[in-house]
Amino acid sequence: QTCLMTQQAYQHKLKLALIGQSIFGQEVYNKLRQEGHKVVGVFTVPDKNGQADPLALAAEKDGTPVFKFPRWRAKGKPIQEVVAAYKSVGAELNVLPFCTQFIPMDVIDCPKHGSIIYHPSILPRHRGASAINWTLIQGDKKAGFTIFWADDGLDTGPILLQRECDVGQNDTVDDLYNRFLFPEGIKAMVEAVHLIADGKAPRIPQPKEGATYEGIQKKENAEISWDQPAAALHNWIRGHDKVPGAWAKIDDQVVTFYGSSLLDASVPAGQELAIKGASRPGLVTKNGLVIFGNDGKMVLVRNLQFEDGKMIPASKYFSADETAALELTEEEKKMAEDIRAIWKGILSNVAVIEDSTDFFRSGASSMHVVRMLEEIKQKYSGLQLQNEDVYMATKFADFIQMAVRKLRGEDKEEELVIDYVSKNMNNMTVKMPYQCFINGQFINADDGKTYDTINPTDGSVIASVSSASLVDVDKAVAAAKEAFENGEWGRMNARERGRLMYRLADLMEEHQEELATIESIDSGAVYTLALKTHVGMSVQTFRYFAGWCDKIQGATIPINQARPNHNLTFTKKEPIGVCAIVIPWNYPLMMLAWKSAACLAAGNTLVLKPAQVTPLTSLKFAELSAKAGFPKGVINILPGSGGLVGQHLSEHPDVRKVGFTGSTPTGKKIMKSAASNLKKVSLELGGKSPLIIFNDCELDRAVKMGMGAVYFNKGENCIAAGRLFVEESIHDEFVRKVVEEIKKMKIGDPLDRSTDHGPQNHKAHLEKLLQYCETGLFEVPCLQNQRQEL
């Protein structure tokens, strides 16, 4: 049905000239041809270092006429031979997906429908060639692109269509481009051509209000100006990452900064590093280079690049030259020669790949990075390399050393950065993470919002916890999806999954007193119960499901008893993908364990939202999972609002299953939302569990069991006895004994080992219980006098 609608909506086809270059241009070219439009000519740049542009390669492969002009104008006037060659193809529309050349107006206005151009900003803001850079440099909260009709101005033509997206706090140019501007831009270019073909394309004049033009950012004007707040420094660095690169002078040489993020924490320990122009030295720490804004706030820089092109982790600045070269085994030498051959295939203009050959200085670009890594992956699937690895080791010898270290497992993950809230209590120092845990990192919510989590014992604030936003949900789901589809977790065998889960259970047991203390102060659970049940059963749950990892089996089903039987039907149980888990506040850690352990054992990844009032043990669990070695993105924890985070998870198209424990009305909403992409759901919803006591019971035992059914874990129990039915002949005696037992209970501080009943989980719940008591006194006539006394 969708295909039919698309065909009906876009019935007309055009003859197109594509003017431009790059992989983006190549993808637009391919999509337009797939949609039935005829590309009558491709006009692109000449080969560079013997390498044809990707757009040219695709067109030449299809037999499309390709023209490679170094320029269209000379001394400000069109080159007539070039214009004549263009006019010879007879295009009805010029499409400029990405073009770095100046195209004469004779060409722009020549076709019947004129020319359309893709521009990576929300015009009229950020006109000019460095639009994406300036979007970040100026700290815009929204990014996007515009497809407009070309005129004789600079990015001033009428708007055909626009799309926008949110900008994350630590997004770089690459992040915006890869996540939104590239994939959505290709779709929009195709949509724009369809609209023109069908005569439905608008021409909306650009407003004068809000128009800006910024110059091209080049290396010489990308120097960091230090008299700025930390946020401005961060925006400047990420706005130039990767090209042209923000830089400063350190030890009399230009050093370029990459991979910045705002650091909201106490000043870490580190070795001072003098930076020219900075009023305060930077700090080389175990996690990177910390620099300071004029507001005293901090920015963390992950990587540094020197003038010779060598890039290092900023944390290694003072030890960059201390790593001894590895002696390669015969197998590793063979791998090195295979990689040398791959480099030679890409760098065809280089006669011999020497140890000193620099990948980028020999003519390679970012598109060649992807090709090189994919070719290596085909030959050596166990060697997992990222784009960043190539930039960190651009010379062949350095690249081989890095690859061998990774293959040997010597390239360790950087230490997890955690900013704790620490409290001395229960004869220990309790360290509690309070930020969102996304893709293996503790980070602030994208919009910076927090909320206070309260100790129900005394009403004091334990911590200000990050309150996840919709952007954070999207990031967490994307991380979980990437970990499942492309990460180490998706390739890991079942036995290794089990090993990680056993290790996590051991760490939980090792930290059981700390976990139980956190559970007590955050939920009001009595410490002894938290230690035995909340934490103890969670440890047992992970150990149980760890044993199941390599025992999940399918089945064969006989479908024909005849002999010979050549038919076979079988089932194969496979992980489903990203699972969203929303848990309640009564057993924060145990409900996490019950839902996530089975999910992980099956090989899924998860995004978990703890109850808003009890997030702290879930975040401590996240810390322990990272220390256990779970790959990034497998486990993500998002504290915050159920109405916001939980709802978005249940609607998210990349979430394949939702597990929820809570109220029936919320469960209905989740089931309705899950229908959007036919998610699987597991719902544990509300109920009213009755306990019925007859007159032939052992009364004292019945009282004890009734008390346990009602008051276990302060009555905050999924299977609590919400109602007690007592046979009339023993009713009064039963009530008398219950009252006697209640008077013996000690209500108070949950960390006091003699306490029987801690505080109710949170104030709203307490007020609800008091309202029920009031309602009960009002509705039962025989209790009216007692109500008046109360």
Side chain identity at 657, as an amino acid letter? K
Cα dihedral sign, 665-671-674-680: positive
The residue type found at 525 is A
Q: Please state, in angstroms and rounded to a whole number, the distance separating the CA atoms of residues 663 and 384.
A: 44
Altogether, the residues listed in the chain come to a count of 790
Q: Which residues of 560-599 are buried (b: 16+ CB within 10 A; e: fewer)?
A: eeeeeeeeeeeeeeebbbbbbbbbbbbbbbbbbbbbbbbb
Kindly name the residue from 184, 375, 482, 684 that is annotated as catalytic: 684
Name the token pair of 576: 């489903």
Q: Does the annotation count 35 as an active-site position?
A: no
Query: What DSSP assignment string belongs to 364-377?
Result: --HHHHHHHHHHHH
Distance CA 236, CA 250 (A): 18
Residue with tokens 């006429």: 65
Tell me the backbone φ, ψ of residue 583, rounded to 5 degrees: -115, 160
> Of the candidates 61, 59, 65, 50, which has an alpha carbon nearest to the alpha carbon of residue 21?
59
Q: Give the tokens for residue 278.
A: 């900075």
Query: What stretches of 71-150 adopt beta strand conformation (E)?
Result: 73-74, 77-78, 93-96, 115-119, 142-149
Strand order of the sheet with strand 159-166? 66-68, 38-44, 15-19, 93-96, 115-119, 142-149, 159-166
Task: Tell me the DSSP string of 149-180.
Answer: E--SSSS-SPEEEEEEEE--TT--HHHHIIII
Strands 555-557 and 680-684: unpaired
For the beta carbon of residue 114, count every other beta carbon within 10 angstroms.
17
Task: Indicate which residues carry an active-site annotation.
Answer: 684
